[in-house]
Structure 1
Amino acid sequence: MRHIKVTLLFTYSGIDNKDIEPYPSHVAAESMRLMSATTPRRYRTVLYWRPLVPGLNDTSEHLQRAYELSRLADATVFTGLFYRDQIAEYYRASKLPEPYGETARRKIVPETLEKRVLSAFGGSDSLFRKTSCAVSYAHGEPDYNGHYGIRELCDICPLGQLDRCKEAHRVPSAGRIREVADALPEAAGLVVVDITDRAAVVSGLTVILEADPEVIADRLRARGPHNRFQRTPGSSRAEARFYRQATERLAEAGFEVLRVDCNRRPPEQSAEIIRDRLETLLAPPGAGTPP
């Protein structure tokens, strides 16, 4: 334990609707109270308050309960709902009121709700938007995920934590990024487009395996669903639509996209197509096309 920093994250939503959140939130709350009360202790506790969803757990009473709980933990992180197509389909199939009119590419916390959260936590100096920020703060360390410099994340951090992250922050060179990425098969053909104080912009090959919704549905029936969203009627159409949108957005952004039609092609042939493209990308200049 001398060389390990242990963090206990207690997922708490405060959602009362059992059709959406069947596991009672008071269990997580009591567990956190118990583990946070131990003194002295070498581990840290974090209230993982998620997801915040308008109409489900955003009343003043919900926010006040979360604030009272946060005072027991070493840090608190809050996030919204990742309202993807699969979750939207689940809401509709379960005849639940949809919290948003459209799906999103990231977790959503509406601006008005975030302002209410920050107001309710006005007396707190340990509230964060990112999990790594909360964990790092709880242990007195700089953020290990390098969020420093992203104003819309850091503007609620304690000044002491900002100073700690600033001191540790290093902007990597393009060579260092490629050196680290070389260990990842997914990074084949990676190109460093730009490096800013906020992020490194890279491009590479994106592979999209495509099939008609009916084909996907037949394969799901034969294979069996891997999660609850695949049990939802219409999930295959939602999945196909999601990947189609992703393909369009990647192409518009200038990324190289390899689309592989998997409707009738056996898996071995799909793998060969991907292999051939990767070999072309990785071939030294002037080497020609692999046989």
Structure 2
Amino acid sequence: MSATTLPAVAAPRSRPGLLRRFRRYPLPSIGAILLLALVVSALAAPWIAPHDPFEMNVVDRLVPPGADYTFGTDAYGRDIFSRTLHGGRVSLFIGVSVAIASTAIGLLIGVVAGYFRMADAILMRVMDGLMAIPGILLAIALMSLTRASIWVVIVAITIPEVPRVVRLVRAVVLTVREQVYIEAATAIGTRFPRLMWRHILPNTVAPLIVQATYIAASAVLVESYLSFLGVGTPPEVPSWGNIIAEGRLYVQIAFWNILFPSIFLALMVLSINVLGDGLRDMLDPRLARRL
């Protein structure tokens, strides 16, 4: 008696590797490389900057770009290149700090609002009230009531960003909460902390990573706005907004005072946004199935 021939079973299709995703979506690679170059230049500013960013030299006032001063000098004889590199440290620190703080606070509030219906009504009305106020005006109002410092700038920018994170997390939690496996876990007596940690929070990681990149880019821009208007970082702190604000008075005779800091600011925001767009495409499960 011959053995019964079983039909061949196809092997399960493995998920595409990270390298293949980067090849399919080159935007994250481009944004990451550009952002990495800016981050390295900012972190290594104390070692690669040719001059002291605070050193004044009245003899070399408004010197155009050349061999001695790569980006020229400002009205006080300070090297623009050195100040631009050190200004990147301030902008990078503020952008990362705002992204981490707003994401952490928004995640906590969003999980509570999405899972508990009674808390949802109260918390979301508060968030709606904060979102009704333009973020830049709220930041200016907070800065005008306090003493200028980097930490105050971080708080002033974080507050308007929190409601956006809350709404994102709440939407994810509302969707996950209605899934069958959540109901099954609740039926067998799974406690709320374990339910959050094992089932709900993992579903918020991908959208939060993408949202954090946009928040970081927005924070860098808002810090530059505030510093340009004179209500941001202290004037003695070299930031891109402060450098541009000081250089605008001499734009007709020394355009390099605002040109190079503006280029670095634009590249920083562009690289973060490009990285965020690429990560959004990579982390989208619907697009991942097509790879």
Fold equivalence (TM over 0.5):
no
Greater helix percent: which structure? 2
Shorter-chain TM-score: which interval? under 0.3
Please report the TM-score for the alignment, with normalisation by the length of structure 2: 0.23
Greater strand percent: which structure? 1
Please report the TM-score for the alignment, with normalisation by the length of structure 1: 0.23
Structure with greater Cα Rg: 2
